[in-house]
Every structure is written in C-alpha cells, then in structure tokens.
C-alpha cells in the first residue's frame, strides 16, 4: 500500500512497525545477492578443486564463529549455528560428490546448499526459517571462492536507514548502531527473525513493507515505527517533527525506572521473557519486575538425552536467585514443531505445528515432565523467588487439570497454563476454575486462530496479533480471569508493541512480559492512558474487521 504524488513515485509506504522508535535519514539498500554460478566443469583436478572449497568452508565457519563471539547473547547462538552449517558433514560430502563428477567448486556449493534449503523449507516451522540462514552461508562461501566481499550490510561514513528484502541473522546481529538508524524490510511480520532482533537491539524498524525495494539509495525517509509508516522525500515540517520526537524519546530513556502502571495508578507489572539464566541480570537492569516467560528449551535442545534433575535444578536455581521476592514464570519444556528433540518426538509429522508438541509431547513421555517439575520444586525451595510454572500447548480444561494436579502433587505452589490454542480461550471459564493463572502466548495464538504458519513468509500478513479474532479470544480469557480473581498475563511478542500493550490491558491482561529491550517503551506508553481509556481503545479494536483497521481504531479512540 502507498500513496503516489504527482511525479509517480512513492511518498508513503506501510508495514508493521516494531517498537516506538522514529528514525530520519537517507536509505541504503542491501546489495543484491551474488549471481548464480555458471553450470561449468572444472579443469579436471577434483582434489585441488575440493581443497579450494574446503579452505573457503573453514574460513567462513571461523568468520561466523568470531562474529558470534563478538556479538554475544542471543546473536552468538544464532551465528554459531550458522558457523556449524559451513562445516556440516552432509553438505561437505554432497559438495565433494558434485566436484568429483566434474562440477566447479562454486557451482557444487550452490547446488548442494540449494538442495538442502529445499529440504528444510519442506520440513516447515523452525527448520524452514533456517533455510534463510543457510542461503546466507552459501553466499559467503561462494564470495570467498571468488575473492570478492560477501553481500552484507553496506558500509557508510554517515548514518543511514537500511532497506533490504529481509536480513540474515548474521547481518542483524552485528549492525553498527552508530551508523544504522533503522531497518525497513520488504518481507517478514511482527514475529520474524528481523523483528525480534530489532526489538532486542532497540532499532526502529518496519517490516513487511511492500514497495520498500523501489526506494532509491540516498532517498531521505521518515521511519515511524508506531504508525508503521515510511514517508519518502518528506516535507521539512515532517522532518522537524520526527527529529523532535527522536530527541524526546532519547530524553525519556534517562528517566528513572519505575514499576509499570497506567496514568490512573493501576498497576501493570512489566516482566521479562528470558531464554537462559545469564539473561537475568540484564533484565533486572532494564527494569523487569520479574520474569513472565522463562523458556527452558536451552537445557534440552543441544542434548541427545534429557538433562538430569540435578542439572536442571542448578540452572533453575541460578535464574531464580536473580529475582528474590519477585515472580518468575517458568514454561515447561515446549518441544515439537519448530523445536524437535530426538529423545522426545523423533517421529516424522506432516504438519508438526498441529502435532505432538508442548504438553502433548510431555504427556507421551511423562518421566521427562516429572523430572522437570521435580527440579523446579527443588529450585523453588532453594530460593526466595515466587515461582510460577506453566504448561505449553494446552487445549482444554482436562489437560489443564492434569498439569495442575501433577504440579501440585509434586509440591509446586502456583501452577497454570499457556493459552496458545483457540480452544483454551473458548473454554476459558472452565480453564480458570482449574488453573492458578493463564499466560497468553500471542505468537502461537495468532498462528492457530488465523491458520497461518508463523514461519512461512507467504502468509506473514496473517501473523498479526492486532487481528480482532485474536483480540476477542484475549478478551474471553481476560473476562474469565477477572471473574475467577486470577491473573491473565501476556508473554507473546504482542506485549512488546506499546500500542497493542495498552489494548491488551484494556482486554483484561493483568501483567505483560516481553523482551527486556522493549520494557522502557511499553512502560512509557502505559503511563499515558487510564484504565478507562485502555478499555475504550480495546473496544474500538474489537469492533474492527481486520488487523490494520484495529490498529487505526485503537489509535483514534
């Protein structure tokens, strides 16, 4: 979508904004990928040709690992995984076989990696998302073989706004924040890799922008993430207004951190989503009032067997120790679909997102669940944190009762469930009669409500938690929670969208949990509205017919 001016070039482009940020500056586009290598034959010395490729594989692997070590945090894990792709034995064997049959090294790398990409895309979910990373690794290897720089983020002496089809994790993880003012991508939705990393780095971004690649290098734009709007060749008045908003936001970041609350004093605790114990101190520093989602998969994903009770208890205790007297919500192992585990669910499934995942997988391998809950009970008793434990992928009251009873029998104090499956929201009254609390995972709830795989670019436009169908399910849960006197939290990416956070509170959410980098923006937005105003915005969004209309209706209510 966009508006043309009289000279037939884009003035306004629309997409999905990430965060509250504003950026003003000239754009630079990501360089085009390297051209596909010719289907030529090598000189006849296959051993020498493969040796040349091996050198490039090693060099790219080492480069990615070094970039990961430099980036640290979540980015390090992503880049180390990419580094391992460059040395994957299956791919290396395929490249060798192609070279032995006469193909050049460049072409062999291109064909082998492309074939593996097709396999990953066919698997769907998390594995399909890795296909983009694999393509980036192949480009780097081919560039090394050619002796040319790998396509990547352009360099510039002056700050710029980066425009790209999408960004590989290796690019996003190491952006120079002194130079890159903001991101505009043609592809992706609010839960895409680019959006999540942009949010974690507090980079203003708009994703899913049709027409983004039509912008010429050097075009000055105003990137307004809250409005999801890119304005090209803006008038001086608009530039001045945007610059004043940038300055105001910078000034607001120096204000002392306070607990989350609305303008009328209504408390809305702001919690952090964390993926490992080492994320705890950083979350506290950014003002997290506790943890709303602790993903325990990090303990399991790299293991061929499940970790022991003692190993798990040590890690859970480490995290809980950072939050004495504060709430820490731990999600039981959420494996399956985009996170397959050999020891839990190795059987092939045609559509794993609708298969044996979450609590379903844990019930089928109950000892793994019993061990995890036992380890959590040990951590609960060893620390002063207020531990809450929840199950993922819960469909109804029967599954809720099963998990709550198991947790309570093992000695856990507060036991609840995640609302990611629409059926749970439809049965909200029964669920909240059985559970101590419910936490809404908006990423999956949106995926399942709109029948759109959240990892699939072709249906990314459906992956928008502003959709009134999703908001109506949130309201069912919020109303049931209020009637039962129990908490209903939000722990999906939706909580990190400041305008949507206000609407979610208006629908009955009692706490919001998000990537720690989003806490300041959400805190600032909540402080500007009363509960009555939040409810009015929520009502306006509920009455809309689609996600874009809901955003506009809430903004003007």
Categorize the per-residue pLDDT at 362 as very low, low, confident or very high, splitting at 50, 70 and 90: very high
Q: What percent of the chain has pLDDT over 90?
A: 59
pLDDT for the residue 302? 63
What average pLDDT does this structure show over 52-56?
94
Query: Pick the residue with more confidence: 151 or 99?
Result: 99
- Dihedral sign (CA 41, 42, 45, 47): negative
pLDDT for the residue 8? 43
**List of domains in the chain:** 2-31+153-252 (3.50.30.10), 46-146 (1.10.274.10), 270-524 (3.20.20.60)
Categorize the per-residue pLDDT at 1 as very low, low, confident or very high, splitting at 50, 70 and 90: very low
What average pLDDT does this structure show over 375-400?
97
Query: Pick the residue with more confidence: 84 or 27?
Result: 27
pTM above 0.85, yes or no: no
- Tell me what percent of the chain is helix, strand and coil, each rounded to the nearest 5: 50, 15, 35
- Least confident piece of the model among 187-191, 232-236, 395-399, 497-501: 187-191
- Least confident piece of the model among 210-219, 403-412, 482-491: 210-219
Pair type for strands 10-14 and 229-232? antiparallel
pLDDT for the residue 493? 81
pLDDT at 2 over 50: no
Q: Report the mean per-residue pLDDT for the chain.
A: 88
Q: Read off the DSSP letter of residue 19.
A: S
CB of 141 closer than 8 Å to CB of 57? yes
pLDDT for the residue 131? 77
Calculate the CA dihedral of residues 235, 236, 237, 239 and round it to 10 degrees.
90
pLDDT for the residue 5? 45
User: Three-state DSSP class for 349?
Assistant: coil
pLDDT at 7 over 50: no
346 Ramachandran zone, left/alpha/beta (phi>0; psi -120 to 50): alpha
Query: Pick the residue with more confidence: 149 or 375?
Result: 375
What average pLDDT does this structure show over 136-157?
87
508 Ramachandran zone, left/alpha/beta (phi>0; psi -120 to 50): left
pLDDT for the residue 155? 78
The side-by-side arrangement of strands in the sheet containing 229-232 is 2-4, 10-14, 229-232, 220-224, 22-29, 160-164, 180-185, 205-207, 16-18
Q: Which of 14, 42, 144, 491 is catalytic?
A: 491
pLDDT tens readout for residues 180-226 = 999 999 987 766 667 777 887 888 999 989 999 999 999 999 999 98
Residue 28: how many CB atoms within 10 A of its CB?
A: 23
Query: Pick the residue with more confidence: 484 or 152?
Result: 484
pLDDT at 3 over 60: no
pLDDT tens readout for residues 16-25 = 888 778 999 9
pLDDT at 4 over 70: no
Q: Determine the Cα–Cα distance for residues 441 and 421; give it in Å rounded to an integer.
A: 9
pLDDT tens readout for residues 456-482 = 667 777 888 999 999 999 999 999 999
pLDDT at 416 over 90: yes
Residue 313: how many CB atoms within 10 A of its CB?
A: 22
Q: Determine the Cα–Cα distance for residues 316 and 80; give it in Å rounded to an integer.
A: 24
Pair type for strands 437-440 and 487-490? parallel
pLDDT tens readout for residues 417-431 = 999 999 999 999 999
Q: Which residue in the block uniquely carries the two structure tokens 């051993």?
A: 47
Query: Pick the residue with more confidence: 156 or 9?
Result: 156
Residue 2's closest CA among 254, 215, 291, 293?
A: 215
pLDDT tens readout for residues 316-357 = 999 999 999 999 999 999 876 555 555 565 667 677 778 888
pLDDT at 9 over 50: no
Catalytic annotation on 491? yes
In angstroms, the Cα distances linking 129 to 68, 126, 191, 478 are: 19, 5, 12, 33
pLDDT tens readout for residues 105-136 = 999 999 999 998 888 777 665 566 677 778 88
Query: Pick the residue with more confidence: 339 or 401?
Result: 401
Q: Which of 9, 193, 348, 467 is catalytic?
A: 193
């Amino acid at each position: 979508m966009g508006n043309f001016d009289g000279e037939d070039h884009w003035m306004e482009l629309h997409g999905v904004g990430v965060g509250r940020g504003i950026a003003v500056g000239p754009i630079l586009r990501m360089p085009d990928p390297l051209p596909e290598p010719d289907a030529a034959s090598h000189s006849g010395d296959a051993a020498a040709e493969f040796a040349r490729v091996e050198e490039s594989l090693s060099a790219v692997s080492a480069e990615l690992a070094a970039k990961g070590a430099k980036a640290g945090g979540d980015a390090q894990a992503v880049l180390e995984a990419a580094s391992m792709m460059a040395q994957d034995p299956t791919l290396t064997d395929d490249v060798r076989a192609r070279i032995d049959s006469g193909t050049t090294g460049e072409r062999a790398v291109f064909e082998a990696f492309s074939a593996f990409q097709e396999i990953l895309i066919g698997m769907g979910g998390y594995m399909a998302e890795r296909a983009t990373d694999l393509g980036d690794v192949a480009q780097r290897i081919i560039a090394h073989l050619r002796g040319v720089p790998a396509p990547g983020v352009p360099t510039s002496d002056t700050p710029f706004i980066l425009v790209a089809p999408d960004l590989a994790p290796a690019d996003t993880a190491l952006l120079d924040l002194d130079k890159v003012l903001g991101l505009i991508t043609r592809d992706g939705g609010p839960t895409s890799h680019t959006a999540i990393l942009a949010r974690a780095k507090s980079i203003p971004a708009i994703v899913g922008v049709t027409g983004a690649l039509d912008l010429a290098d050097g075009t000055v734009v105003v990137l307004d993430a809250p409005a999801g709007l890119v304005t090209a060749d803006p008038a001086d008045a608009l530039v001045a207004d945007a610059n004043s908003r940038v300055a105001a936001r910078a000034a607001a970041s120096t204000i002392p951190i306070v607990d989350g609350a609305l303008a009328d004093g209504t408390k809305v605790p702001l919690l952090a989503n964390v993926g490992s114990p080492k994320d705890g101190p950083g979350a506290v520093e950014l003002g997290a009032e506790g943890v709303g989602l602790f993903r325990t998969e990090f303990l399991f994903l790299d293991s061929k067997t499940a970790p022991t009770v003692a190993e798990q208890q040590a890690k859970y205790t480490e995290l809980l120790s950072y939050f004495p007297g504060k709430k820490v919500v731990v999600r039981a192992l959420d494996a399956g679909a985009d996170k397959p585990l050999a020891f839990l669910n190795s059987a092939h499934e045609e559509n794993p997102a609708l298969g044996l995942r979450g609590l379903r997988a844990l019930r089928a391998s109950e000892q793994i669940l019993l061990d995890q809950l036992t380890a959590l009970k040990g951590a609960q008793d060893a620390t002063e944190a207020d531990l809450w434990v929840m199950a993922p992928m819960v469909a109804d009251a029967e599954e809720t009762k099963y998990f709550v009873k198991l947790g309570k029998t093992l000695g856990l104090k507060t036991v609840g469930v995640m609302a990611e499956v629409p059926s749970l929201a439809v049965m909200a009254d029964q669920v909240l009669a059985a559970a101590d609390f419910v936490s809404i995972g908006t990423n999956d709830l949106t995926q399942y409500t709109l029948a759109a795989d959240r990892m699939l670019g072709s249906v990314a436009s459906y992956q928008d938690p502003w959709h009134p169908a999703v908001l109506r399910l949130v309201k069912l849960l919020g109303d049931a929670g209020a009637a039962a006197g129990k908490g209903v939290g939000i722990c999906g990416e939706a909580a990190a969208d400041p305008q949507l956070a206000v609407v979610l509170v208006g629908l009955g959410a009692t706490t919001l949990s998000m990537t720690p980098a989003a806490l300041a923006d959400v805190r600032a937005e909540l402080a500007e509205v009363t509960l009555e105003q939040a409810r009015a915005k929520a009502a306006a969004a509920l009455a809309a017919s689609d996600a874009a209309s809901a955003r506009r209706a809430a903004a003007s209510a």
